[in-house]
Amino acid sequence: MASVRSVNVGRPREATWTTIGRTSILKEQVRGPVQVGELGLAGDEVSNLRHHGGPDKAVYAFAREDLDRWDEALGAEIADGQFGENLTTVGIDVNEARLGERWRVGGPEGPVLEVASFRTPCNVFKAWMGRSGLDARAWVKRFAADARPGPYLRVVVTGVLRAGDEIEVVAPGGDVSVSEAFRAAHRL
């Protein structure tokens, strides 16, 4: 069964190592229900609106299975939320999800999220990995070469979700997967 393993939110924090002087990449797990609005999760605030946030990047999902692969590659345990994701999922290949695919999270009253685009790794992500004690050498290149960036989701129907909620694909989307779109955009 596909489900939400953890719900992760963050607020802007001072970060002199970023070009804008702050970041929201540090996410903390939320216990209990979280309201999902048109621009994302309650308690989650975007620092750099030029590259993140907005209706087409309201929620970021990353699979626990992919984090586990990075555990092995980096030789360290990667916590849920470490990659800045709002939803850490299990049991669904988020990178094979099709653009336009819709997910209902948490049953009939839960929010409906639509796969809108993919994450592009940046230098803040690289610096964050290094500051977290992980091997950040050529991180942007390594993450991109994996072509499993996780999707950004738009909120089609608002609602409440929580860790443990089932993810149900309720509409199939188009012909292009998240990974295929990423490879095409980055000429991989």
Spatial separation of the C-alpha atoms in residues 53 and 72, rounded to whole Å: 30
Q: What are the domain boundaries of the chain?
A: 3-185
According to the model, what pLDDT value does residue 19 have? Answer: 87
According to the model, what pLDDT value does residue 52 have? Answer: 86
CB 61 within 8 A of CB 90: no
Single-letter amino acid code for the residue at 36: V
According to the model, what pLDDT value does residue 111 have? Answer: 98
Strands (E) located in the chain: 3-9, 13-14, 22-23, 28-29, 34-37, 40-41, 59-63, 87-90, 102-105, 112-118, 151-157, 159-161, 167-171
Task: Classify 68 as helix, strand or coil.
Answer: helix
Top CATH class of 3-185 equals: mainly beta
- Between β-strands 59-63 and 87-90, what pairing exists: parallel, antiparallel or unpaired? parallel
Buried b (16+ CB within 10 A) or exposed e, 43-60: ebebbbeeebbbeebbbb
Show the tokens assigned to 1.
């069964």
Alpha-helix runs per DSSP H in 14-115: 64-74
pLDDT per residue as tens, the chain (188 positions): 999 999 999 999 999 998 889 999 999 999 999 999 999 999 999 998 888 899 999 999 999 999 999 999 999 999 999 999 999 999 999 999 999 999 999 989 899 999 999 999 999 999 999 999 999 999 999 999 999 999 999 999 999 999 999 999 999 999 999 999 999 999 98
Spatial separation of the C-alpha atoms in residues 52 and 16, rounded to whole Å: 19
Q: Indicate the pTM of the whole model.
A: 0.96
